[in-house]
């Protein structure tokens, strides 16, 4: 297994609250890794540590190492903005820039990164929209406001925006939780297609979704990584009683 991201003894805090505890794992490259666990288990915080988003919150703190291509993203001198270009993120609620058109939404990240050439922008926007399986639906009206799209389309627009800067890793935090089953299914298909070219880490509350889209699954509980193994194993023969209780719906 080639490593996409290597996490070493990662800890995260909100103020005095220790929310991610001594997590070490190797996220496989060009595969989908699902992160599951009950609310408040630290799964979202965990993925936000992977692209240095966690530290943007007041009072937040991180220790440990996150290696991408062998390079520690938390080493001194590493620019967090560069890290976030290499490791993109999609959130629970689609959040297109409200005043911008479809085109501008996807181009925004590129322009922030200094791309000004219209031809290059057009090419990269189309590529991003195609990768996000949205191109055919919007190609005739790229000037339409992003907010005019349906919920599922808006989420794919956000994915296109994240993909336009050509990240190596895409983090997704509950990307389907606000979507209906049909829109969710499209995103799931998209996740599977994208994983051929990039490493995907998806936080999900839906275990059926984790089963469908991921090759590997990590189970978090109370900030700890309880178990990380191939999805087909975790859902048929989990190695830890706590995982079994969670995935079979036994709650105290």
Partner 1 sequence: MPRHVDQELTSLERMVVRMGDAVQEQLRHAMEALVRRDEAGARQVIDGDRGVNAQDLEIDEKCVEVLALYEPAAGDLRLVTTVMKIVTDLERVGDQAVNIAQRVLELIVEAPAEPMLELLRMADRAAGMLKESLQAFIGHDTALARRVCAADDEVDELKERLFRELLDVMIADSRAIPPSMRLVLISRYLERVADHATNIAEMVIYMVESTMVRHAEAAVAPRTRHEGDKP
Binding site for partner 1 (CB under 8 A): 1-2, 28-32, 192, 195-196, 207-208, 211, 214-216, 229-233, 235-238, 243-244, 247-252
Task: Report which secondary-structure segment, H or E, holds 241.
Answer: helix 241-247
* Residue 46 or 216 with smaller CB distance to partner 1: 216
CB of 249 to partner 1, least distance (A): 6
* Residue 94 or 231 with smaller CB distance to partner 1: 231
Three-state DSSP at 214 gives coil
* Residue 69 or 123 with smaller CB distance to partner 1: 69
Please give the span between the terminal C-alpha atoms of the chain, in angstroms, as a whole number: 36
* Residue 145 or 212 with smaller CB distance to partner 1: 212
* Residue 9 or 233 with smaller CB distance to partner 1: 233
* Of residues 164, 163, 119, 125, the one with CA closest to residue 142: 125
CB of 171 to partner 1, least distance (A): 18
* Residue 1 or 75 with smaller CB distance to partner 1: 1
For residue 66, give every residue at least 6 positions away whose Cβ sits within 8 Å of its Cβ, in sequence order, or none.
5, 6, 7, 8, 10, 49, 50, 72, 73, 74
Residue 21's DSSP bridge partners are none
CB of 145 to partner 1, least distance (A): 36
CB of 230 to partner 1, least distance (A): 5
Q: How far is CA 113 from CA 68, 97, 110, 164, 199, in A?
A: 20, 17, 5, 11, 22
CB of 194 to partner 1, least distance (A): 11
* Residue 24 or 150 with smaller CB distance to partner 1: 24
Concatenate the DSSP letters of all residues of 39-108 into one string.
TTSSHHHHHHHHTT-GGGSTTEEEEEEEEETTEETTSTT--HHHHHHHEEEE-SS----TTSBHHHHHHH
Q: Which two tokens stand for residue 182?
A: 């049909």
Q: Which two tokens stand for residue 58?
A: 């007041």
CB of 183 to partner 1, least distance (A): 20
What does the chain come to in residues?
A: 252
Cα 132 from Cα 160, distance rounded (Å) = 5
CB of 90 to partner 1, least distance (A): 20
């Amino acid at each position: 297994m080639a490593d996409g991201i290597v996490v070493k003894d990662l800890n995260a805090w909100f103020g005095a609250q220790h929310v991610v505890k001594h997590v070490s794992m190797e996220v496989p490259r060009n595969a989908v890794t699902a992160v599951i666990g009950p609310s408040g288990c630290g799964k979202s915080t965990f993925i936000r540590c992977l692209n240095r988003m966690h530290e943007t919150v007041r009072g937040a703190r991180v220790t440990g190492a996150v290696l991408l291509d062998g390079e520690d993203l938390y080493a001194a001198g590493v620019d967090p903005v560069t890290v976030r270009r290499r490791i993109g993120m999609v959130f629970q609620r689609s959040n297109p820039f409200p005043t911008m058109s479809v085109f501008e939404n996807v181009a925004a990240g590129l322009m922030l990164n200094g791309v000004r050439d219209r031809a290059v922008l057009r090419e990269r926007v189309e590529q991003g929209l195609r990768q996000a399986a949205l191109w055919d639906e919007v190609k005739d009206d790229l000037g339409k406001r992003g907010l005019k799209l349906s919920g599922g389309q808006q989420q794919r627009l956000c994915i296109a925006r994240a993909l336009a800067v050509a990240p190596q890793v895409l983090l997704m935090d509950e990307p389907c939780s606000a979507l209906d089953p049909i829109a969710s299914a499209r995103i799931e298909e998209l996740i599977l297609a994208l994983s051929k070219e990039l490493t995907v880490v998806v936080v999900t509350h839906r275990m059926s979704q984790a089963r469908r889209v991921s090759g590997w699954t990590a189970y978090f509980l109370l900030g700890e990584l309880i178990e990380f193994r191939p999805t087909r194993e975790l859902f048929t023969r989990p190695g830890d009683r706590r995982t079994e209780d969670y995935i079979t719906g036994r709650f105290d």
